[in-house]
Amino acid sequence: MPAPEVVRAIVAAALAEDRALEDVTTLATVDANLRGTARFLAKQDGVLAGMGVALETFRQIDSSIALATLVQEGEAFPRGTVLAEVSGPVRAILQGERVALNFLQRLSATATLTRAFVAAIAGTRAVILDTRKTTPGLRDLEKYAVRCGGGTNHRRDLAVMAMIKDNHREALAREGRSLADGVATIRKRTAGIPVEVEIDSLDQLDAALAADPEWILLDNMATADMAEAVRRTGGRAKLEASGGVNLDTVRAIAGTGVDAISVGALTHSARALDISLDLEF
């Protein structure tokens, strides 16, 4: 899980957005002393991520809320599984229901999709990476969900790793500077961080290798070209494949011998998992 203070802040913002403590329906129809139990029920197969965030949601409304987790984070489950039970004041359960489900459905969706990509390349040398294509404000949670699904986190932000992409290459060229100069300047300004250079054709590979980065990103290249890039690189840099990767193509990409495959869809296109919260007395 991300740091507790990060989770607390994200949950607080979500509850404020929903005006959970001002729930006009629940406050008018549910007695303050009524207690009950609600079950999180999976209505489709999936991989769990985010139950701790759901618990934090309820606890920020009422600290007496108790949650019994029946499926562990990162664990796969079939449709019909009761994932957890939350017990306490019914008002608090209903006030936090939608926010808790929003977190749980979306994070579990990312974990589930990640697990599918990881399974698709099983037995190859490649790992599945996420990207920075995350929901604003939810990056730490979404990258956590990727880990729950068996994926690997790429750079979290713009300061932990340098990546010279196509627009940076254009800017360097306009100033008459080479990729090697760009990499050297990065290392001079910020020693100790890894550097990645993006290329989109084999014609750019030699210049990228001459710049001596730790990583080279092969963007939207044909699998045959990726395989040739692996051969020509010969281990002098790690190779990442990216661009238009899906479950139908990822196995062939992994088969080229690249070290990693980044998939933006893990966080920008995972469909919310169907999970309900059913109240019992």
Nearest to 242 by CA among 203, 196, 211, 209: 196
34, 90 Cβ separation under 8 angstroms: yes
For tokens 């079950």, name the residue.
Answer: 39
For the question of residue 133 being annotated catalytic, the response is: yes
CA-based diameter of the chain, in Å?
73
Annotate 127-172 with DSSP letters as a single string. Answer: EEE--S---TT-HHHHHHHHHHTT-B---SSSSSSEEE-HHHHHHH
How far is it, in rounded angstroms, from Cα 12 to Cα 60?
7
Q: Active site residue: 56, 73, 196, 219, which one?
A: 219
How far is it, in rounded angstroms, from Cα 236 to Cα 136?
35
For the question of residue 238 being annotated catalytic, the response is: no
Q: Active site residue: 133, 155, 177, 187, which one?
A: 133
Q: Active site residue: 35, 132, 155, 165, which one?
A: 165
Q: Active site residue: 97, 130, 196, 198, which one?
A: 198
How far is it, in rounded angstroms, from Cα 72 to Cα 161?
32
For the question of residue 165 being annotated catalytic, the response is: yes
Other residues' Cβ atoms within 10 Å of the Cβ of residue 167: 9
For the question of residue 85 being annotated catalytic, the response is: no
For the question of residue 18 being annotated catalytic, the response is: no
Active site residues: 98, 133, 165, 198, 219
